[in-house]
Amino acid sequence: MTAIEPRITEENLDPADWDALRKTAHRMVDDMLTYLQSVRDRPAWRPIPSEHKAAFNASPLPLEPQDIDQVYEDYNNDVLSYPMGNIHPRFWAWVIGTGTPSAALYEMLAAGLNPNVGGGDHMANQVEKLVIEWCKEMLGYPAEASGLLVNGGSMANLTGLNVARNVKLLEAGIDVRTHGLTAAPRLRLYCSSETHSSVQRAAEVLGMGSESIHTIPVDSEFRIDLAALQAAINVDRDAGSLPFCVIGSAGTTNTGSIDDLNALADLCEREHLWYHVDGAIGAVAALSPATLPRLHGMERADSLAFDMHKWLHIPFEAGCILIRSREQHYNTFTLTPPYLVHSTRGTAGGDLWPSDYGIQLSRGFLALKVWMSLKEHGIRKLGRSIQQNIDQAQYLKALVEAAPDLELLAPVALNIVCFRYAPSGMDDAALNALNEEILLQIQEQGIAVPSGTKLNGKYALRVSITNHRTLREDFDLLVREVIRLGKAFAHSLPKQ
């Protein structure tokens, strides 16, 4: 007689009480909406006390389940009180978008479905396919081009430059996917001194090294010097190197300057070079009819990188790379092992496998929040929001120029204003120290969050306006506080 085996208790991670979870979920949503609605009532930023960090980092590894309500309370106590601050109306550091309340809900919907948008026959792939089509239409890019959603501008630049390197080496008779760079000549990549640091990282990751980058000086408006670029290409060719790519900036990180994108396109056609445009900041400004003419030439790029978690206010992360040649894009990345063979039927079917066009096989459902946000707000309203920030930058510029003790340090080409407190009688070293202290005081007092940079050796307060909640009165406050703090600290800093 066969012995009866003991009953095995099996577990899953679903809640034991769905109604209790539903109640907590409703509270989470209500609390977060209230938090967003009241964001202007809080400081723009608060430093995290050292004792708070220490206590949090001493938290033991949880070995047994904890009640979700207690977990949520820990979030409220430990995390919510010290945010980055980028949802605040006076956050203008770096180039960071604010998101929207509804897009946070869209993110929840994507997490609920939790698909891997790497391939297969399911609607998440189709949503991404449609979003890419919309992106091409928004930016005037060729309809037959390829594209992929990525986590941001750095990955978009890396992806575009990967295609550029492989294509141009293949034209020179070198299959880099098979043989690597061992047989390749010295590659040369051209960009201005204002180009984002992600380009150097991409060159290093792609095995070309930072020395492959030929950095070109900029003119008085911080745009790439075209004559210097042409001369550099000629010198490198004469030295036996292989020039393969030029990068144009549709909005630089330091100042928001826009290179002459049409002139760069002409040069690349003439020199038979890959033309990549880094539009992480400014590409989507094409949605504003008033700004679009300044971006002409961007649509001629062989590859175009841009972000949607900046000026389109999609929650992090959401970037995009567009590649003019679908075949070149596909051939750079496609790799299909037996366990991922694409089919014409079943779950392995479908007309699009995004994993054939990028580095990642495991990919989140980035496209859902983009698709729903574009539908919710519409392109025209988003364009107005972008132009509103551009107009606000001109407003701040006028405030700076009207204040005797403030100095504008760069032209205001787009949405970034760089200025400093500069009373007479102080040299640049003293002014640099003073303005750095002003910046820290403004941040630590929760007044606002600009960032700092250096332009021609001068420390600048850098205000990058990608914030749909900002009002002009916020810049009135900023200028008043910069002047107040400047006067307060001008004579108290140590002598240089």
Give the pLDDT of residue 6: 77
CA end-to-end span of the chain, whole Å?
A: 94
Q: Which CATH class is domain 15-47+82-99+378-496?
A: alpha beta
Closest CA to 169 of 139, 212, 134: 212
- Cα 14 from chain centroid (whole Å): 35
Spatial distance between the Cα atoms of 145 and 195, rounded to a whole number of angstroms: 25
Spatial distance between the Cα atoms of 439 and 404, rounded to a whole number of angstroms: 19
Which residues, 6 or more positions from 427, have their beta carbon under 8 angstroms from its beta carbon?
496
Domain with CATH 3.40.640.10 in the chain: 115-377
Spatial distance between the Cα atoms of 46 and 450, rounded to a whole number of angstroms: 14
Closest CA to 320 of 113, 137, 79: 137
Give the pLDDT of residue 5: 74
User: Considering the domain 115-377 in this protein, what is its CATH number?
Assistant: 3.40.640.10
Closest CA to 389 of 472, 305, 462, 453: 472
What pTM, to 2 d.p., does this model score?
A: 0.95
Domain with CATH 3.90.1150.170 in the chain: 15-47+82-99+378-496
The answer to whether 333 and 168 are in contact (CB under 8 A) is no
Give the pLDDT of residue 3: 66
Per-residue pLDDT tens digits of the chain, which is 496 residues long: 566 777 888 999 999 999 999 999 999 999 999 999 999 999 999 999 999 999 999 999 999 999 999 999 999 999 999 999 999 999 999 999 999 999 999 999 999 999 999 999 999 999 999 999 999 999 999 999 999 999 999 999 999 999 999 999 999 999 999 999 998 999 999 999 999 999 999 999 999 999 999 999 999 999 999 999 999 999 999 999 999 999 999 999 999 999 999 999 999 999 999 999 999 999 999 999 999 999 999 999 999 999 999 999 999 999 999 999 999 999 999 999 989 899 999 999 988 899 999 999 999 999 999 999 999 999 999 999 999 999 999 999 999 999 999 999 999 999 999 999 999 999 999 999 999 999 999 999 999 999 999 999 999 999 999 999 999 999 999 999 999 999 999 877 665 4
Number of H helices, E strands in the chain: 15, 11
Give the pLDDT of residue 2: 63
Q: What sign for the dihedral angle of Cα 230, 236, 238, 244? A: negative
Peptide bond into 64 cis (omega under 30): no
